[in-house]
Structure 1
Amino acid sequence: MKHKRGLGLIAFIFLVLFLVAFLALAIYLVRLDSIVRERFEGQRWEIPAKVFARPLEIFKHAEILQPDLIQELKLLGYKSANDYTKPGTYSIKANSLYIHTRGFDFGDAVEPEQVLALQFDSKSIAEVRTTKPSSTGIVRLEPMLIGGIYPQHKEDRVLVQLKDVPQTVIDALIATEDRQFFEHYGVSFRGIARALVSNATGGTRQGGSTLTQQLVKNFYLTPERTLKRKANEALMALLVEFHYSKEEILEAYLNEVNLGQNGNYSINGYGLAAQFYFGQPLRELNIAQQAYLAGLVQGPSLYNPWRNPELALKRRDIVLNNMLVMGKLTQEQYEREVARPLGVIDKPNLGPAKFPDFMDLVRRQLRNEYQETDLTNKGLRIFTTLDPLVQIRTEQAFKNGVKRLIQGQPNRLRDLQGAAVVARPENGEILAAVGSTQDFTGFNRVLDAQRQVGSLLKPVIYLNALESGRYHWASPIDDSAISIRAPDGKTWTPKNYAGTENGLVPMSRALAQSYNLSAVRLGQEFGIGKFQSQLRQLGVNNNLPNYPSIFLGAVSMSPMDVLGLYQNFATGGFNYPRRSIRAVVDANGGLLERYSLNVSSSISPANAYLINFGLQEVMRSGTGRAAYAQLSSDLALAGKSGTTNDNRDAWFAGYSGNHIAVVWLGLDDNKVMGLTGSSGALPVWTSIMRQLPNKPVNLVQPANIQWQWIDGTQGNLLSAESCSGALHIPLLVNTIPRQVAPCAAHYYQAETPVDINDPTPSEFSNADEIQQYIRQSEEDMEKELSESRVISSGQYAGY
C-alpha cells in the first residue's frame, strides 16, 4: 500500500512538474510570439534617409548636349547596348539617342519606365519621342543617389518587393540555401541530419538552418553560438511560419540578410548589394551576377570579390551548378553564365556620401528642421539641388586650379586651402560645393571658413552712390590719400594696392581697378551707417564692425555668405534664400516639405542694372579681365576680386547669365600666402566657369535707364563716341547731364547753333528736351555725318 502511495506521489509530482514545464513553455512561447509579431508587423528596419541629386529633366529644346546626357546616364549606372530592351540601357545611333529608363517614384508623382528617342542639334535636344504619354512634355530621369543619413548601428539597405525580384534570384537562393523552403514549416530535420552527417564525416561543413531560421537569427537574435539561442531560433522560426506566408518570409529575408561591409556600413539585402557590387538595380543583373549574390550568404567576407576574386568566382559557379541540378537552368544557360567574368565594378560606388561637402550642407539644413531619429530610421527621401555634372566638373577644375598654383610656389603654398560654391542666380539653388582642396574632414570651408573679404564689398559702396542720384559711372572720383581718425583716437591711413594715387578717375574705373582710396572717400561721404544698412538690405547678417576699414572689407564672411551677397547683383536686385534641398518625402511617398521660392526685392531694377554694368567693367577692363583669355567675351560676365591685408585671403565672386560662383583661397592658419584675388582666386574661378554651359548676362533694361556717351573727364557732359575719353554708360533718365561737351556739340543741334569752340557748353532744361532736339535735327545730322548712326529713342549705340 505504501509502495502504491509512493508511486502515486511520484506520478503526481511528475504531473505537476510536467504541467509547470508545459505552462512555462506556453508562457515562453507567448512571449516569443509577441516578440515575433511586434517586430515583423511593425517597423522592421531602421531605414536611413536617402539623399538624391536633382533629376535631369528631358524635354524638347532643353539645352542639353548629347555627351553630357551620356555622362549623366553613366553616373546613373546605365549601360550601352545595341537593343536597349532592358531598363537601364541606352543606344547611340547617328544623331539619335535611345534610352530605356528605369522609372522612379518621386512621392508626388511617379515617372514610368519607358523608352525615349532623342535627337540633338548643336545646342539642345531637338526632338523627343516617348513610349508613355506626358501631360507636361517633360520626362525626368531617376535622380542619382548621393548618400544617406545613417542610424548609429550603421546599417543600410534598399528595400525590394518580392514582385520586383527576378525569379532567377529566388531560384539561386533556394537551390543553394534551402531546397525544401516551400515544403517545411520553419525547421528542416532533413537539413539538420544532412549537416550533421557531412560535418561528422569530414565533408564540406554545412549548416542545417532554413531560410526562415536564418531570417530569425538575423532579425531577432544575437550571433552567439549556444544551445539556448539555437532553441530560440527553432521555436521562433516555427512561429514565423505559423503567422506568415512563405512569400512574406522570403521578402523579409531578401531585405534583411547581410551581404557585405563597406567600411563601417553593413550592406543588407539584395537591393543594396546589387548596387554595391555591380552598380545596377537588382532586376538589371544577369543570372551570373544574381548567382554571385546568392552565394554571398555563406560568407560575405570570404567571398569578397575585390580581396578574393578566385574564391568569389568559384562560389558563384557552385550556385550556378546548384541551379542546373535543380532544373532552374538549362545546360545552355549554365554554360553561358559560367563563362562570364565576375563582372563586379572596379570599386564600391556606395558609401557615406559621394559628394561629402555638398552632403554636409544638406545635413545641416535637415538637422535644423527634423529630429535625428526621423533622419536615421524613417526612410525619408531628400531631393536636393545638386547637379552631379556641375559638382564633378567643379571639383576637378577647383583642385586642378589649386594644384597649378601650388606648383608655382611649392614651399609657400604647400598647405594652400580653399572653397568653391556654384549656384543658379534665378532661384538660389546650390549646384555644387567644394569645401577643401583635399578629402573632406568635417571642416567645410564653404560654410565654416569665416574670412575677411577685402574688396568684395566695394560694389556696395558704389551702389549707395548710384542710389543717391548724385553719381553715375562717369562721375569723377577722387583717388588721393586720406587719413581718418577712428573713434578710439587712432588714425587710419589706407593705401592703394600699388601704393600710388590716381587723382580724379571715372567711377567705373575706380571700381574696375579696385582703387582703395576712392572707395574709402566715397564710403565716408555716405557714412558707415549707410554702408552697414545696405549690407543688411542685401542679406549680410554677419557681425559688421563700426570702423572705417569696413569699406575695404574688414568683415568676416564665408563663401556661402558671399554667394548670397552677389546673388542680389546677378538677379537684377532680388534676394533668394540659398538652398540645397528641393523636397522631403516620407517612406510612403507623402510630401513632408517642399521648399518654395521666398524671393524678396533688395535693389531697385534700375540700380541693379547700373551696378551690374560696373561689375561687367571689372571683367572687361579691370581686375577680372584675365578671365576673357579663356572665356568668351560674348558672355558679358560680371564679377569682383577680393584681397585682404598682406595677401592672406584671395577671393573672386562672379556670374554668367545662369551660374554664379564664388572661390576663396587661403591658409587655415591665416598666414600670408602671397596670392591676390586676381592672381589666385580668379584663375581657379575661370577654370570652373569654363566647365559649365554658361549663358550671357542679359539683365532686362528698365524703362528709366538710358545709354549715353558721357565725357569721361568732367563726368557731367554729354559726349559722343568720337570724342576723346568718352564713356558709353547706362544712366537713370533723371541723371542724364544737361550740358554737352564742346567736342560733341554738333551732334546735338539746337535752335541756336552751338559754337564747338565755346568752352561753355549749351544747356538744356531736361533729358526730354535733349531727345526732342535730337529728333528734330535727325535729317541735318545725317547730311553732316554720313557715318553716324542715331537711334530715335535717344539711346545711342556706336558713339
Structure 2
Amino acid sequence: MEPETIGALADDAPVDRVLVHLGDLPQHLVDAVLVVEDRRFRDHHGLDLFRLAGALVANLRAGGVREGGSTITQQLVKNVFLSHERTVLRKLREAWLALRVERAHTKDEILEAYLNTIYLGQRGSVSVIGVDAAARHYFGHSASSLDLAESALLVGMIRGPGFYSPWTHPDNARERRNQVLAMMAEEKVISDKQAAAAAKRPLGNVPKPPASARPRWFLARLERELAGELPGVDLREDRVAVFTGIDAELQIAAESAVRTGVKELEAGYPRLRERGTPLQAALVAIEPASGAILAYVGGSRWSENQFDHIAQARRQPGSAFKPIVLLAALARTSDGQPAFTLASLLRDEPLEVETPQGVWRPEDYEKEFRGPITLRRALENSVNVPFARVGLAIGPEAIVNVAHRMGIESPLDPVPSLALGAGEVSPLELARAYALLANGGERVAVRDAIHVTDADGHVLREQPPERVREFDPAETALVTTALERAVNHGTGYPLRDLGYRGPIAGKTGTTNDARDAWFVGFTPELVAAVWVGFDDGTPLGLTGAQAAVPIFGRFLIGALGVDGGEEFAEPTGLERVAINESTGLRASFFCWGEDEWFLPGTAPSETCGPGWERADRFEPEQPGEEPPVAHRPPRDPVVRFFEKLFRVRR
C-alpha cells in the first residue's frame, strides 16, 4: 500500500507529490499534454510567438482574456518561481526565465519537471501536485498505468482542476475529456476509432475520499524534533520524505472526536464557554506493539491555540495514575512476594498523614467513605483513601520507580499524594505507560518519524521499534484484568453506555477541584489518552467520566467499531481462586465469592466461614507493619467438615 501524504513540514501549503520519470509515463499521456498545452513545444525556445499572436487576437475579439499563450516552459516557470498574479511585469519575468530554462535544460527535462509540478486538485488541505499523485488520487493507481481515457481526463483538468473534477462536476469532466480526445485524433496522435472508444468509457474514478487528516500539532512536533536532530537538512525541500505511523483514518476519527466532544461539552455546560479562556481537549493514540503514534490532536482548535497539550503540557493525572500505583503494589518485591493482591482488604475511612507541608487528608470526589474494600474494588470505583494507604505501605519511592520504568520521564516528587496522581505528566507519557500494560510488561519507545529519506531515497534518520522488558507479564495481567472491570463495572462504565461492546481496559481521572478530566484506555492493538481542561487551571467542574470518556468512546468506536477488535488473551502465569470479598479469604459454602486472579502462591490459604470479622483482615498501612491477627470463634465439627470438603474440591 502506498503511504498517504498527511502534510508538509515547514510549509503552510502541504502537498501530495510523487515524482515520476518521463520514461515511465505512457506515450498517450505525453501526447495529450503536448496537443492540449503546447503543440510546438519541441520547436520553440521557451516562447511561442505564433501562439501568443493567436491568443492576443482571440482575446481582442472576446473583449477579455479567454486564451493563454503560455508555453509549457512558461507554465513551469510560473508554477515553480513566480506568483499567479496577472501583471505585465510578472509576464516579462516569466518570459525571461523561460528563455533561461530552455538554454540550460533539454526538452525532456523541462517536460518531466512540468508533469511533476502541475496542480491537479485538492484533498482537504493537501494540494495534489503532479500527474502521478493525481493518478493515485483520482484512479487509485500510478500514472504509469493510466489508460487513454484516464490520461485525457487528467490533461483536461489542467485548465481547471475544480471545474473539471470527476467527483464534483462529472458532466464537465466527461465533456472536457472527450474534447481532449478529439484534439488528439485531429493531430493524428491517436486514431478516430481509439478516440471514439475512449469517449465511451465511464470516468472510472475511485470513490471520493473522506475528509483528509490534518495532524497539525503532530507536524509541528515533527518539525521541532527534526530541526534539532537533522540540522543539515532543509525541511522545505520537497524531496525530503518523512514517514510516520499516523493512520489517516484514526487521525480523522480523533479530530472528529475532539471537535464534537468539545462542542457537546460547551453546549451541555454553557458555563464552560463563559470562563474567558477556550476549553481545551487533546487525544493521542499509539500502537503498543511498535510505539508508533497513530493519531495526534494537541488541542481543541489549531487556529486559536497551537500549544501542544499532548507532549508539552504537564498536568496532574489524578486517578488515571492509579494503575501505576496498582502495578507497584502487585509486582513482586525483592523477596519474591508482592505487597498486595487484588483481594487485599483496605480501610476506606478518614486518614490523616503528617507531611512537611502540613496534614494531608485524602478524600474521594463524592466525599464519602465506604468502609472495608478490596484493592480491586477500590480501583473499579476510583476510591482514593485505600490507594493512599497502599502508597504509604509500599512507599512513594517505589511508585516513582515503577512510573519511570513504565515510561514516565517527568520528575515526580516522592510524596504521599503521588499515590492519587498529584505529580504532573503529559498525556503522551501516560499513554506510553499504559502501553506497557498492553505489551505485557514491555516498555516501548514512542516513535513519530519512523524514517526520513532524502531525494535519492537514502535514509537520513531511522527509528526502529524499541521494547524493553520491565515487568513479568503475569504482574501486568493482574492490572489489566482490574482495568477491564473498571470499564465494565466501575467509573469507566459510561463507555459502555456510548455503545462500545468490544474489549477495553481503562481508567478515568479527575484532579482536585475537577481541574483536569482524563480517560486512558487500551485494547490489544491501540492505546489512547484523552485530557480535557483549561490552560489556566480554571476548574472544569466535570469528572473524567463526564468530560473525557465521551471523547474517548467516540474515537474508539470510529477506530474499531462498536464491537472492537482483538480480545485480550487469557492471563497466563496466574492462578484463579474464588474469594469472598467481605473477608478477602477463600470462598466457601458459608460465604460465597467470585473468582480472583493471583500470582502463584499469593492467594489466601484460609477459607472464610461463620463468624469471620472482615475488619480483622486489613492489610498493613505502613512499611514493615504486620496485619492484625484474625480472630475467629470456635467452629463446630460440621463447619470444619464443609470447609475441608470445599478446600479439597478446589
- 1:413 and 1:673 in contact (8 A); partners too: no
- Tell me, in whole angstroms, the C-alpha distance in 2 between the residues paired with 1:206 and 1:626: 62
From the superposition, tell whether residues 195 and 719 of structure 1 become closer, same or farther in structure 2 (CA, over 3 Å). Answer: closer
Match of 1:249 in 2: 110
The residue aligned with 1:461 is 325
- String of CA shifts for 1:334-368, please: whole Å, max 9, x gaps: 567779999999999898x6443444454444344
Cα pair distance change 1:217/1:472, threshold 3 Å? closer
Residue 640 (1) aligns with residue 507 (2): yes
For the 8 Å contact 1:713–1:725, the answer to whether it is kept is no
- String of CA shifts for 1:590-625, please: whole Å, max 9, x gaps: 344442222122223332233333323323432223
Q: Is the 8 A contact 1:150 1:377 kept in 2?
A: no
Q: Secondary structure at the match of 1:460?
A: helix
Separation in structure 2 between the aligned mates of residue 263 and residue 656 of structure 1, nearest angstrom: 30
Deviation, 1:743, is 6.1
% same residue: 34
- Conserved? CA contact 1:659–1:694, under 8 Å: no
2:352 counterpart residue number: 483
Give the residue type in structure 2 aligned to 1:249: I
- Provide the C-alpha distance between the structure 1 equivalents of 2:476 and 2:552, rounded to a whole number of angstroms: 23
SS of structure 1 residue aligned to 2:393: helix
Deviations 1:289-326 (A, max 9, x none): 64565466678899999999999998777655533431
Residue of structure 2 in register with 1:597 after alignment = 465
Q: Which residue of 1 aligns with 2:286?
A: 423
| Deviation sequence 1:614-640 (CA, Å, 0-9, x none) | 3233234322234445668783x4222
Contact 2:498–2:550 under 8 Å retained in 1: no
Please tell me whether the aligned partners of residues 214 and 252 of structure 2 are also in contact (alpha carbons under 8 angstroms): no
Instruction: Count residues in correspondence.
Output: 612
Opposite residue 21 of structure 2, the aligned amino acid is Q
Q: Structure 1 residue 207: deviation in Å? A: 6.4
Measured in 2, the distance between the counterparts of 1:446 and 1:738 equals 46
Distance 1:584 1:682 in 2: 36
Matched residue type, 1:575: R
For the residue of structure 2 that corresponds to 1:689, the secondary structure is helix
Q: Does 1:323 align with 2:216?
A: no
CA contact 1:275–1:350 (8 Å) conserved in 2: no
Question: Structure 1's 732 and 182: CA in aligned 2 closer, same or farther, altered over 3 A?
Answer: closer
Pair 1:155–1:392, CA change in 2 (3 A): closer
Change (3 A) 1:744 1:344: same
Alignment of 1:266-305 (within 5 A): 269-272=130-133, 281-282=142-143, 290-291=151-152, 294=155
Corresponding residue SS for 1:375: coil
Task: Give matches, 1:166-185, under 5 Å.
Answer: 166-183=26-43
Matches of 1:230 and 1:358, distance apart in 2: 37
1:701 aligns with 2:540: no
Distance (Å, rounded) in 2 between the aligned partners of 1:234 and 1:382: 32
Q: Which residue of 2 aligns with 1:688?
A: 555
How far apart are the structure 2 equivalents of 1:308 and 1:708? 67
Kept in 2: contact 1:719–1:743 (CA 8 A) = no
Comparing both chains, which one has the higher relative contact order based on Cα–Cα distances under 8 Å and sequence gaps of 6 or more?
Answer: 2
Is 1:146 aligned to 2:6, yes or no? yes
Is 1:387 aligned with 2:387?
A: no
Cα drift, residue 544 of structure 1: 1.9
1:630/1:690 contact within 8 Å kept: no
1:457 deviates by 1.8
Once the two structures are superposed, what CA deviation does each residue of 1:101-150 show, in whole Å capped at 9, x if it has no partner? xxxxxxxxxxxxxxxxxxxxxxxxxxxxxxxxxxxxxxxx2232222325
Contact 1:420–1:663 (Cα < 8 Å) also in 2: yes
Aligned-partner SS, 2:422: coil
Query: Amino acid of the residue matched to residue 557 of structure 2?
Result: R
> Given residue 420 of structure 1, which amino acid in structure 2 is its aligned partner?
L
- Structure 2: distance between partners of 1:408 and 1:207: 56
Task: Decide which of 384, 391, 415 is 1:523's aligned counterpart.
Answer: 391
In the alignment, what sits opposite 1:14? none
Residue identity matched to 1:322: M
Give the aligned partner of residue 493 of structure 1.
361
Match of 1:563 among 431, 446, 451: 431
User: Which moves more between the two structures, 217-226 or 533-542?
Assistant: 217-226
1:225-255 Cα distance to aligned partner (Å, 9 max, x none):
4998588557536634xx63x4333223323
Corresponding residue for 1:445?
309
Deviations 1:444-468 (A, max 9, x none): 3322443211112223333333345
Shift of 1:512: 1.9
Structure 2 portions without partners, runs of 5+: 613-633
Deviation at 1:683, TM superposition (A): 3.6
Shift of 1:698: 2.0
Shift in Å, 1:264: 9.8
Give 1:576 deviation, angstroms.
Answer: 0.6
Give the deviation of 1:718 after TM superposition: 3.4
Change over 3 Å in CA distance of 1:543–1:295 after alignment to 2: same
CA deviations 1:349-402 (Å, max 9, x no partner) are: 898x64434444544443443237443216233332223333334444454455
Structure 1 pair 409/210, CA: closer, same or farther in 2 (3 Å)?
A: closer
TM-score, with normalisation over the residues of structure 1?
Answer: 0.65
- Contact 1:417 / 1:665 at 8 angstroms: preserved in 2? yes
Residue of structure 1 equivalent to 2:342: 473
Alignment of 1:89-168 (within 5 A): 141-149=1-9, 157-168=17-28
Determine the C-alpha separation between the residues in 2 that align with 1:667 and 1:226. Answer: 49
Whichever residue aligns with residue 757 of structure 1, its letter is: D
Are the counterparts in 1 of residues 280 and 532 from structure 2 also a CA contact under 8 Å?
yes
Secondary structure at 2:451 match in 1: strand
Distance 1:267 1:526, change over 3 A: closer
Structure 2: how far apart are the matches of 1:689 and 1:153? 30
| 1:651 shift after superposition | 1.2
C-alpha displacement of 1:270: 3.6
CA displacement, residues 676-698 of structure 1 (integer Å, 9 cap, x when unaligned):
12233234333333341322222
In structure 1, how many angstroms separate the alpha carbons of the residues matched to 2:299 and 2:114? 42
Q: For the residues of structure 2 that align with 1:300 and 1:145, how far apart are their CA atoms?
A: 19
Name the CA distance, whole Å, in 1 between partners of 2:500 and 2:302: 33
**Does the 8 A contact of 1:304 with 1:312 survive in 2?**
yes
CA positional deviation for 1:644: 1.0
CA spacing shift, 1:684–1:756, aligned 2, 3 Å: farther
Is 1:435 aligned to residue 302 of structure 2? no
Q: Is the 8 A contact 1:742 1:758 kept in 2?
A: no
The match for 2:581 among 678, 687, 712 is 712
1:386 corresponds to which letter in structure 2?
A: I
Cα distance in 1 for residues equivalent to 2:98 and 2:173: 30
Q: Specify the alignment match of 1:624 in structure 2.
A: 492
1:250 match: secondary structure:
helix
Equivalent position of 1:748 in the other structure = none
C-alpha displacement at 1:789, in angstroms? 9.8
Q: TM-score, normalised by structure 2?
A: 0.78
Moved more, 404-413 or 198-207: 198-207
Q: Is the 8 A contact 2:514 2:543 kept in 1?
A: yes
Q: Is the 8 A contact 2:82 2:94 kept in 1?
A: no
The equivalent position to 1:356 in structure 2, one of 190, 208, 216, is: 216
Aligned-partner Cα distance in 1 for 2:281–2:195: 55
Q: Which amino acid aligns with 2:400?
A: Q
Whole-angstrom distance in 2 between the partners of 1:421 and 1:495: 30
**In 2, are the aligned partners of 1:742 and 1:759 still within 8 Å (CA)?**
no
